Amino acid sequence: MPRWRVTSTPPHLTFVMELHVTVGVPLEIGRVAHGRRRIVPILGGTFEGPSIRGRVVPGGADWQVLRSDDVLELEARYVLETDSGLTVYVRNTGLRHAPAHVMQDLLEGRDVNPALVYFRTAPVFEAAAPDLQWLTKAVFIGDAERHPREVVLRVWRVE
C-alpha cells in the first residue's frame, strides 16, 4: 500500500499565445565539456494570443547543448514587443529529443514531422508594464516545433 495519496485535482492549462520565431543559421561552437554547443540567432518573428500580440524583437539567441544521450538542452533569451509598444523579456529553457535519425535531420536543418519530436519548454517572463504583470505571476509551459527557418511555440499558463 503506497504511503502517498493524491487528494487534489491536477492543474489545468490556459492558452496564452503562439509564437513564430524566425531563426538564423546555428553557430557551431563544437564539443565542450557537456556536449556539442551551438548558438542559434533569433532574427525576429510574431506572437499572438487571446489578450496579447506583437513581434519578436531581433537580437536574441538560443544557447544549446546536445548531450551525449542525444537530448538537446536549450536556453533561449529574447524580447517580445506588444502592438502597443510594451516589452517583455523572455528566458525559455527546455528539452528536445527524438529518434537519432530525426535529431540528425533537425541538426542538419531539414524539416521533420513535429509529432516525432519531444520539444517542451518552460518560459519565464519579465515585464515592467503594469498591464503585463500577469505574465510575471504564473508558471508557463510551452510546446514547440522546430522547422528549418523558424520555431513555432505554443504557450500555456498553468492554473
Question: What is the average pLDDT across 120-129?
Answer: 98
Rounded CA-CA distance 109/147 in Å is 8
Share of the chain above pLDDT 90, in %: 86
Question: What is the average pLDDT across 89-113?
Answer: 91
| The one-letter amino acid at 116 | L
CA 41 from chain centre, in angstroms, equals 13
- Cβ(152)–Cβ(20) below 8 Å: yes
pLDDT for 104:
85
Q: Which of the two residues, 2 and 60, has the higher pLDDT score?
A: 60
pLDDT at 2 over 90: no
CA angle 56, 61, 110 (to 5 degrees): 90
What would the pLDDT profile of 37-66 be if each residue is shown by its tens digit?
999 999 999 999 999 999 999 999 999 999
> Domain segments of the chain: what residues?
13-158
What is the residue whose three cell numbers read 510551452?
Answer: 142
CATH number corresponding to 13-158 = 2.40.160.20
